[in-house]
Amino acid sequence: MSVLSSSSTATAAGRARWGAVTWRVVDPDRDGDLLHRWLTAPRARFWMMQGWTREQVVAEYRRITDSPTHEALLGHLVNPADAAATEPALLVERYEPASDPVGATYPVQPGDVGMHLFVAPPAGPPRAGWTSEAMHAALVLVFADPSVRRVVVEPDVDNLAVQRLNARWGFEVVRDVDLPGKTGRLSTCTRAAFERARTENGRTA
């Protein structure tokens, strides 16, 4: 399947406990300043772009934009008082594992989709459950494509916070795998596991 099959249009809608989320495909030139600020910040160290220039970040997202097997989307929070005013908050990359280094580390199955998630700090005061709701919104987005059977992630083995987050929303660890620049903790989440996790976490929407 093509990872672009469910998102050839620029936007999709979802909801988190802290509000509605709309998604659009990344525009590397338009979004270059934002992506560079996000992905070179200390909190993004596991993205391995520390020290990159804006031009390097833009070039990487042009490569993703031009790829038939990879895609990057920005999630915006909608201001309930003014739907035209949105706050960029999430970055999701989804890809076909067979076209990525992770595909050489396990037997790829039909319906597998790889995912990377970056969560920006909230504007204004802290929001309870911010990163958990971001993961929920990202998985709702990916599983909105009925052809997706399983989401595959490979966080750095040292990224314990995201591993706890993954477990909360239904991911199971497969094993540790060698990937370019890191050891990843290969983990998968089936559609059924995600639905069980949503029920356990009191989510019906």
Structural domain harbouring 68: 11-200
Residue 82: band (very low, low, confident or very high) from pLDDT cuts 50, 70, 90: low
Q: Does residue 92 carry a pLDDT above 90?
A: yes
Domain assignment of residue 3, yes or no: no
Residue 130: band (very low, low, confident or very high) from pLDDT cuts 50, 70, 90: confident
Domain count, the chain: 1
> Cα separations (Å) of 44 from 72, 83, 84, 91, 195?
16, 29, 28, 12, 29
Q: How many residues does the chain have?
A: 205
pLDDT at 129: 79
Mean per-residue pLDDT for 113-122?
Answer: 93
* CA 151 from centre of chain: 10
Mean per-residue pLDDT for 5-10?
Answer: 39
**DSSP tag of 81:** T
Domain assignment of residue 54, yes or no: yes
Mean per-residue pLDDT for 61-88?
Answer: 85
pLDDT at 136: 93
Domain CATH code at residue 110: 3.40.630.30
Instruction: In whole angstroms, give the CA distance from residue 77 to residue 18.
Output: 8
Domain assignment of residue 138, yes or no: yes
Domain assignment of residue 1, yes or no: no
pTM: 0.89
pLDDT at 203: 82
Instruction: In whole angstroms, give the CA distance from residue 197 to residue 193.
Output: 6
Domain assignment of residue 51, yes or no: yes
Instruction: Tell which wins on pLDDT, 90 or 203.
Output: 90
Domain assignment of residue 89, yes or no: yes
The mean pLDDT value of the chain amounts to: 89
Q: What percent of the chain has pLDDT over 70?
A: 84
Domain assignment of residue 72, yes or no: yes
Q: Does residue 145 carry a pLDDT above 60?
A: yes
Residue 17: band (very low, low, confident or very high) from pLDDT cuts 50, 70, 90: low
Domain assignment of residue 136, yes or no: yes
Residue 30: band (very low, low, confident or very high) from pLDDT cuts 50, 70, 90: very high
